[in-house]
Structure 1
Amino acid sequence: MAASIIVAGRKRAEARRITAPINRLLDLLHTVVPVLNKTQAALLLIVGFGGFSLFLAVLYKTIRRRVFHDVNKLDSTFDAGGNITWSLTAVTVASQFFWPGDILHSVTLTAKIGVAGSFWYSVGVLVNILLFPVFSVSLKTRAPGAKTYLQIFRVRFGRPAHIVFCGFALVTTTMIMTSTLLAGKAMIQSLVEDVSDEFVLMTMAFLFGSYSLVGGLGTTFYVSYFNACLVFIILITFAAKIVYFPPEDLDVSRTKLGNISAIYDTLVCLEGPEGNTERSYLTFQSSLGFLYGTLSVLLGTATTFCDQALWQSRIAAKPLPGVWGFLVGGLIWFTVPMTMASATGISYLVLSYENGNHLLTPNEINEGLATPLVAERILGQAGGVMILTMGTMALMSTGSGEVMGLSSIIIYDIYQVYIKPFRKYLYETQCILCGKTQKGLEKIEQNDHSSHSYSEEDTCCCTPVEKCERCAQDVGKLQSGETLGYNQTYMCSVHGPYRAYQDHLVQTKDWCILFVTISLVPFGLLIFGTGIDLNWMFYCGAILTIPCFIPVIFAIVWAKATCTGLISGALAGLISGVTSALIAASTLEGGLTEFLLNTAHEFTITVGCYTAFLVSLLVCVIVSLLSHNIKSGRDALVEWEKTHQIDNPLNPWHLNFRQELEGADYTYRPSLEQLARAFKPARYSAIIGGLALVVLGIGVMPGVMSIFPVLSLTEFTGWMTFCHVWAVVMGIVVVFVAPIEEIVKVVKQRQMNKRKLTTKEQGKDPDLSTICLNDSN
């Protein structure tokens, strides 16, 4: 509930007369007024944003086919070729985090707490974004062929663990998608007149799924770039208008906005919430703000490490570009909530002071309506359209990412494993093409399944696809436009049946993406009918997903983690977290009869989140230590060989790392030691860069801010100036660096294609791997 503003100075005797209808209605109703009708909104959102996104999808698909010579492959749909540049990764990561955390929720915290609210919230989430590369390098080293993090659970711990954590992954995606739908509903219905829930949901479903269906994951990177550009342009314009330029539609003699000194003088006159130093809105020393910051750390673990959409963005890049992409993406993301919340939240407090009371009810504040209200009050209809544009861009990035993440789980971890597998009753150590034990994995097979001594007849001897001449002929036909159905036969008897199966999966993934997109409408109607708001979903949903965080990390980095330990830890954390939250809520006034109010209370959320995290951690560690069979480093190496062999025989992962593995001598695939050496720069960059930025974010910056009990005018001006300058710097990085890198990449690939064509015309035999597979290098 928002803290009440106690006006220490004058109150207006009566509302002044305003000729602009929007501002007059705002004064009378104290709420957000629509700026567009349904037809205008449909043209802007569906025809404008949706049409432009479809154009980008077609452009991306054309580039991949004509320049990179991609055929319609399943893996390229979900990993975008596996060679996304660091700058495109950065803007995509930032875009996927834009909603609803910063544009709405961070402003809500500023309106409730002051400058400390957005600062501590941003720091909390930033910590997880910066630490993510450290663990993602481990995934790329130990499971470079994995397309989902759930595949690691399947090969290491078997089906029971895989099923349990598929459930957690689906819950995480559901939580994020629910927050996105609630944020979209609040924004669209506040800015567009007479729109139904059905209109809102159908619009968002179209925006999320249309271009994902056409271009796959790669299109989301292109769309995220343009989304980030628009967000930063609007953000910088909006912040500058609030702080440095008096609003044209407001009485300049009465309003404090547009003058940073007047804004400061107004904030000094307001009494903030208890827990703030001197109950000031101008302090970073806030117990409530610090509480929200620690909750943001836990919330960030749930939405970062357990969200397949973010793992997918990381999998789409090579180790080193992926590390730098996430580090820079974190800095880009940090800019938006800090600048947006500092400007908009403070403006809301100033406008409420001038009004004599809050312009919004506590429920409307929790729904995130402070942002569109301030935009309309300051910029009129143009401000509402700007916020609608900004919010829609952020919605599209997050929503499409979740659609692709959920679709990849359904295809790779549900359909391909449990519904229609290519080969039933197959051990994870066995070749999917012939059913025999893969080379180098006989030790695992003996330890896990029998004591049988394997001979050459028991070991896979399938020809690698990059050396298969028949496959080269099959791929040549595919590139010319020929397609075969699931039951039809390719020329290659070794890889042909599995290639036909992959064709079937390609068709299935289209239906899967379509099904997920359409399902958003009934799912959203169900969510809207419950009456939950964005604030409730944002925090209470984390209690359900936090218990999954520790098992995900342990599955990737700890050889002694066991199936029993991870399952018991996750379930114990879930049960204890929910139970403790309900008990805490029952002790508050009204008990569980005020369910939505008391379960979203700060005390309830703190108890539930910390209990779920600590219980999950302790149970996972204790049970795994009691049940593991790792006796030596050799045993640990054998354990990681299970994840090392996750691969698609038609698209071997090692071919995507030919540049990094140049000079390495291997027969079948690079060893773990070779990968560790090749990815050493990425690992060092992740550890040094990530930890340095984390120390800066949670140590140096908070320490400096906490020196000042209450900000003086000079200190307040310096803080606002820092936010705006940093926004401009990050805006330049977003707008210019990503397209330059992408253009250079396309030009280099075209030059490489010309050299290969020249070699072929001269009668020389090119490497079959460059024919059979997409050349991502």
Structure 2
Amino acid sequence: MAGLIESTVLPEQVGWIIVLGFGLFFAVLVSFLIKAEKKYLGEKITSEFFATAGRTIKTGLTAAAIVSAWTWAATLLQSSSVAYKFGISGPFWYASGATIQVLLFAMLAIETKRKAPHAHTFLEIIRARYGNGGHKVFLTFALMTNMIVTAMLLLGGAAVINGLTGMDISLAAFLIPIGVIIYTLAGGLRATFIADYLHTTIIFIVLLIFVTTVYFTSGMTGGVPGMYDKLTAAAHLHPVDGNAAGAYLTMVSLGGLIFGIINIVGNFGTVFVDQAYWQRAIAAKPSSAVKGYLLGGMAWFAIPFTLATTLGLAAVAMNVDLTPQQVNLGLVAPSAAAALLGPAGAILILTMLFMAVTSAGSGELVAVSSLITYDIYRTYKNPEATGKQLLRVSHWTIGIFGVGMGALAIILLKAGLSLGYVYLAMGVIIGSAVVPIALTILWKKTNKNAAIAGAIIGLFAGLIAWFGTAMFMYGNISLDSTGKDFPMLFGNIAAILVGGFIVWIGSVVTPANFDWKRMREEITLVDEREVQYTDPKDTDPVILEKASKFSVKSGIALTLILVVGWPMPMYFSGYVFDLGFYEFWVGIAVVWAAFASGSIILLPIIEGRGGITRVLLGMAGKTNVKIIDERKRGEQSDDV
């Protein structure tokens, strides 16, 4: 198996078919669906609609969009890499450590709907509280986040396409965004939601195929008992350093725990500081914001947890031999898929990866476009800009950034940065802004100067801790030394804790007293009337306050369960799985994946059945479809 990647499983033309064929197919399909909505549902692509999707997205589609936005190349690749390195603890810590941020973000989502209903970006909220100085500081962090996330998407996608087909890695990185650019230009955030649903559906279907193959049909793995025997044997041949008894089947893993902490800290930045998640909160109906984020977070858990428990450990069980460089590039899951199913497995993992990269990439395109349009052009260049002007800037930004993100990935590849390295380093770079940004919308006492100082000083603290630890422990500062576990760990922790402590202590000593009504006054709509919601759940202050309290209770409770209540007793127990408990663990993964798949695939269809029916009947010419009045758009939130 050592030569699996070097020899390539698929011919190069398959890479071209995936990158350009799939890309153009979805560009045409999503563009067609957007045109059908415009024709049969009366939707009009204004600047507001382009950036917010009408602010009427229901729970199912919001959840699907969250799953899609959070399913990066790293979700599929890095999760299996840590399973290969640390055993069964790796998938758990990847999934739990990156789920809690989405669950906790539900608090920010509902507060945004309550306090800043006209917002297009979270930077508009920052500016309303801290003025232009604070706005520029956090705008820098936001754009850095988008560049890091985009780079990770393309680094992982291009590496796997190159590894499995031999297609030039730089060319793959440059061409992947092409189809995304086309359909995002056609429909903005609405197109992203449609693509999110289609791509997430395919990801879950492929996930279930791999689960069925590894645990129920493959003679190579021998089902659950066969996997258990092979993983037990692998621990004797290649014991995992830092794991109880060197076993793969144990939660007692020092490496897994360290990765889990880095994962938790780093991913707060790529959710709380990423406009893509605020954009989805802004697009959701008020009554759907909390439910959408909670459902999306719990459904997303199944993807890295189940996929890595399946393919990552299958790579170990089948003795797929990979170099550390190949593991860091994210080639564990593709290698296992190819070993299991040959070319068919390689095509399935490529399809899954392409869905993840392009759907999440579309969200990043719209996010950057909104930041440039509303927080640079409208704020500093042309405050009186019309909707048409803003829409034109959005289109130009998507085209330029879409091409530029491919160029950025090529630069990082040439610099020798892998997916694994960038994934672990992101918390050092953007983690310091997490607490200041969260408290901006959650706490009226947040002090402007403390928030700005926390973000800036926290960044430098993280960098000092990162590089300082590398120098102290390894005697040099290099890609190798800074990529080690402890430098990454201390850098990530220093960034988020220093940033959080400064904003908290500064706000306690010198508290502000912000009037939330100013959010409505200072953040204004463009060329469009305010959405008129007909459901009291979307407008009743008492109901929305209850939703806010529920988001706090549920988010904190689920977080404690996922990072303390579930894993820590197992870590301190010293327990190594026997066959019965391994079967139970696999059962949890399989059932979770099945329920998540059903929820994400079926709920948007159920909620959107009215709009879907009208579009289909209109296309079939079987009925006179009444164009919906713009003033009633709030009633059409069930349109997919």
Alignment TM class, shorter chain as reference: over 0.9
Q: How does 1:77-116 map to 2 (within 5 A)?
A: 77-116=50-89
- Aligned CA RMSD, in angstroms, stands at 2.5
Q: Report whether the alignment pairs 1:559 with 2:444.
A: yes
1:236 counterpart letter in structure 2: L
What is the CA–CA distance in structure 2 between the aligned matches of 1:681 and 1:64, rounded to whole Å?
35
Whole-angstrom distance in 1 between the partners of 2:281 and 2:634 = 19
Give the alignment partner of residue 307 of structure 1, picking from 260, 263, 274: 274
Q: In the alignment, is the contact (CA less than 8 A) between 2:34 and 2:191 conserved in 1?
A: yes
SS of equivalent to 1:588: helix
Structure-1 separation of matches of 2:487 and 2:540: 45
One-letter amino acid of the counterpart of residue 584, structure 2: G
Could you tell me the TM-score, scaled by structure 1's length? Answer: 0.77
What are the Cα deviations for residues 52-101 of structure 1, in whole angstroms up to 9, with x where unaligned?
3322222123314531x233310100111111121111111111111133
Question: Is the contact made by 2:250 and 2:575 (CA closer than 8 Å) also made in structure 1?
Answer: yes
C-alpha distance in 2 between matches for 1:262 and 1:210: 46
Q: TM-score scaled to structure 2, two decimals? A: 0.92
Work out whether 1:577 is the aligned partner of 2:462: yes
What amino acid sits opposite 2:113 in the alignment?
K
What does 1:745-764 align with in structure 2 at a 5 Å threshold? 745=611
Structure 1 unpaired stretches of 5+ = 1-25, 248-254, 353-357, 423-497, 631-635, 663-673, 752-756, 761-765
1:648 counterpart = 2:525: yes
* Match of residue 374 from structure 2: 412
The range that moved more, 515-524 or 371-380, is 515-524
Cα separation, 2, equivalents of 1:514 and 1:343: 38
- 1:468 is matched with none
Counterpart residue type for residue 329 of structure 1: G
Secondary structure of the residue that 1:138 maps to in structure 2? Answer: helix
Q: Hey, what does 1:214 align to over in structure 2?
A: 186
Alignment of 1:717 with 2:560, yes or no, is no
Residue aligning to 1:277? 244
Corresponding position of 2:621 = none
Residues 448-597 of structure 1 aligned to structure 2 (within 5 Å) = 501-592=386-477, 595-597=478-480
Deviations 1:291-346 (A, max 9, x none): 22222211121111110011111111012212111111112111111111111111
2-structure distance, mates of 1:649, 1:513? 20
Aligned length: 626
Name the residue aligned to 1:267: 231
**1:69-468 alignment, distance < 5 Å:** 69-193=42-166, 195-247=167-219, 255=220, 257-269=221-233, 270=235, 271-352=238-319, 359-422=321-384
Report what 2:555 is aligned to: 690
Q: How does 1:625-640 map to 2 (within 5 A)?
A: 625-630=508-513, 636=514, 639-640=515-516
Measure the CA separation in 2 of the matches of 1:661 and 1:728: 30
Q: Deviation per CA, 1:372-407, whole angstroms, max 9, x where unpaired?
A: 111111100101100100100011111111111011
Structure 1 CA distance for aligned equivalents of residues 211 and 137 of structure 2: 45
Contact 1:32–1:373 (CA under 8 A) maintained in structure 2: no
Q: How far apart in 2 are the matches of 1:729 and 1:192?
A: 33
Provide Cα deviations, 1:693-742, integer angstroms capped at 9, x if missing partner: 33432344325645570100111111112211221222222222222222
Alpha-carbon contact 2:184-2:192 (below 8 Å) kept:
yes
Q: For 2:526 and 2:112, locate their aligned partners in 1 and report how far apart those are by CA, in whole Å.
A: 19
Is 1:618 aligned to residue 538 of structure 2? no
Q: Could you tell me which of 668, 676, 682 is aligned with 2:541?
A: 676
SS in 1 for 2:536: coil
Deviation at 1:681, TM superposition (A): 4.2
- State the distance in 2 between where 1:137 and 1:729 align: 25
- Distance in 2, matches of 1:407 and 1:517, equals 10
Query: In the alignment, is residue 727 of structure 1 matched against residue 560 of structure 2?
Result: no
SS of 1:147's partner is coil
Going from structure 1 to structure 2, the CA distance change for 1:350 and 1:678 (only over 3 Å counts) comes to closer
Displacement of 1:162 in angstroms is 0.4
Q: Does 1:602 align with 2:468?
A: no
Aligned equivalent of 2:566: 701
Q: CA deviation at 1:136?
A: 1.5
Distance 1:542 1:56 in 2: 34
Structure holding more helix per residue = 2
Residues in 2 aligned to 1:603 and 1:538: alpha-carbon distance in whole angstroms: 15
Identify unmatched segments of 5+ residues in structure 2: 618-623
Secondary structure at the counterpart of residue 8 of structure 2:
coil
CA distance in 2, matches of 1:365, 1:110: 10
Counterpart amino acid of 2:528? Answer: N
Distance in 2 separating the partners of 1:362 and 1:742: 46
More displaced, 613-622 or 299-308?
A: 613-622
SS of the residue corresponding to residue 161 of structure 1 reads helix
- Contact conserved, 1:82 with 1:776, CA < 8 A, in 2? no
- Quote the Cα distance in structure 2 between the aligned partners of 1:769 and 1:211: 23
The 1-side partners of 2:351 and 2:113 are apart by 36
Structure 1 residues 262 and 416: CA distance shift in structure 2, 3 A? same
Q: For residues 750 and 391 of structure 1, what CA distance do their matches in structure 2 show?
A: 30
Change (3 A) 1:57 1:598: same
Local SS of the residue matching 2:566? helix
TM-fit CA distance, 1:205: 1.7
Counterpart of 2:286, as a letter, is P
Alignment match of 2:608 (pick from 719, 722, 742): 742
